[in-house]
Amino acid sequence: MSVDLAVVLVAALWGAVTGALLPRAAYRFSAPSGEAWRDRCPQEHEVPGWVGRARCARCATGEASYGPRTAVLETVTALVCAALAAATGTRPELAVWLLLAPAGVLLAVVDLRVRRLPDPLTVPLAGAALVLLGVTALVPEHAGEWTTALLGALALGGGYGVLFLVNPAGMGFGDVKLALTAGAVLGWYGWPTVMLGTFAGFLLGALYGGALVVARRAGRKTAIPFGPFLIAGAFLGVLAGAYAA
């Protein structure tokens, strides 16, 4: 077995294990606007902890599921991590991508469910990305630049901030904070990667919105959760940047 294949398999296993821990956190963070998070299942039983399956042994139906399916999150996170490993290889920044990937999946799920990007996830994630990339920049054989990652975070966060001020109904402030992380990871591989990842996010969001309009499930002015597309664009940009590095 080649080293690269082994890295991909280990990354996929990491993704499956971490993905299995996400459903309960996804349920708890999928709270209505004005609430920090949920602490009760749909039948008002207390939800213990933050990691693991979203199932309640105390519900009348017995082991009732109340959150996203574990198998789906396992599969998605495993595929994301495997793709990142295939693109990055054994370079040290792979460790950063594998640490950030489960958080990205979690944020995408929460935004899809309730159109929110919780501050307890977005704000620390941006700081963690910059700190981890700063440490990675000290390790030999890395393929990116920390300075560009910092500038990318500021540029993309600032750009999304302008869009939020111009059209608050079309862009949430959670997207602005998430853009800091996206800008950091894209900026690691340079400005062309920042532009590619940003364009990919808007393109995916436009295609999704257009598909909803064609299917008559939304109008032209219907707001959609943009976080998943911002994350997907950053993911595609990082893949392209890693392959080109």
> Sorting pLDDT into bands at 50, 70 and 90, what band is 64?
low
Contact by Cβ (8 Å): 175, 225: no
Residues composing the chain: 245
Q: What is the pLDDT of residues 69-125, one digit of tens each?
A: 889 999 999 999 999 999 999 999 999 999 999 999 999 999 999 998 999 999 999
> Sorting pLDDT into bands at 50, 70 and 90, what band is 1?
low
| Residue 220 pLDDT greater than 70, yes or no | no
Task: Give me the residue label for tokens 């082991």.
Answer: 63
Q: Which helix (H) or strand (E) holds 56?
A: strand 55-56
pLDDT recorded at residue 50: 92
pLDDT recorded at residue 63: 56
Whole-model pTM?
Answer: 0.93
Q: What is the pLDDT of residues 167-214, one digit of tens each?
A: 887 788 999 999 999 999 999 999 999 999 999 999 999 898 888 888
pLDDT recorded at residue 154: 97
pLDDT recorded at residue 56: 77
Q: What is the pLDDT of residues 111-163, one digit of tens each?
A: 999 998 999 999 999 999 999 999 999 999 999 999 999 999 999 999 999 99
Closest CA to 28 of 8, 13, 14, 42: 42
pLDDT recorded at residue 214: 81
Domain range summary for the chain, segments of one domain joined by +: 90-244
CA distance 225 to 103: 17
Rg of the chain taking only CA atoms, in angstroms: 18
Question: From the centroid of its chain, how far is CA 16?
Answer: 15
Tokens of 229: 């597309």
CA distance 228 to 113: 11
Q: What is the pLDDT of residues 12-52, one digit of tens each?
A: 999 999 999 999 999 999 987 777 888 888 888 888 889 98
CA distance 199 to 206: 10
